[in-house]
Amino acid sequence: MAGLGDLESRVMAALWDSDVPQTVRAVQSTLRVERDLAYTTVMTVLDNLHTKGWVVRERDGRAWSYRPARAREEAGAQMLRDLLASLGDPRGVLMSFARDMNTEESEFLRQALDQSRPGDEPRKPGRS
């Protein structure tokens, strides 16, 4: 999954913030609060996002309706995985990140890791 540019990120945010698929016109209207964009600009960005796999589209009359291909959190996690894979030493990066975490972040991560995944054996206290 390729990363996103600034305008692509704002278009994705507009889609993630909506509970229903959005037409180009609806996304353009949402983004107009920040910046006046041409219809064709928004259409091109949505088409590019579709090509990159970030959005899925379906016919809505004569127009297309777009929705995110995955939840915001899933997309963010995939972007982190892609970034780590590109760095050459993902373990070193993760260790550096973990050392810089504050207490609240560290505790949250510890609790998340302690939750068992489907098919995993429950973790015993004191075991890594």
Residue 119 lies in a domain: no
Please tell me the pTM assigned to this model: 0.75
Q: What is the pLDDT of residue 121?
A: 59
- How many distinct structural domains can be found in the chain? 2
Helix pair 72-86, 90-99: axis angle to 10 deg:
120
CATH of the domain at 51: 1.10.10.10
Q: How far apart are CA 27 and CA 8, in angstroms?
A: 11
Q: Residues 64, 11: one domain? A: yes
Q: Residues 63, 77: one domain? A: no
Q: Residues 11, 62: one domain? A: yes
Domain of residue 50 covers 6-68
Residue 85 lies in a domain: yes
Q: Contact at 8 Å (CB) between 54 and 20?
A: no
Residue 124 lies in a domain: no
pLDDT tens digits, the chain, 128 residues: what are they? Answer: 457 899 999 999 999 999 999 999 999 999 998 889 999 999 999 999 999 999 999 998 999 999 999 999 999 998 888 888 888 888 888 899 899 999 999 999 888 888 866 666 555 544 44
Q: What is the pLDDT of residue 65?
A: 97
Q: Contact at 8 Å (CB) between 27 and 15?
A: yes
Q: Is 61 left (phi over 0), alpha (psi -120 to 50) or beta?
A: left
Q: Residues 57, 104: one domain? A: no
Task: List the structure tokens of 88.
Answer: 């050459």
Report long-range pairs for 96-103 (Cβ below 8 Å, ≥24 apart): none
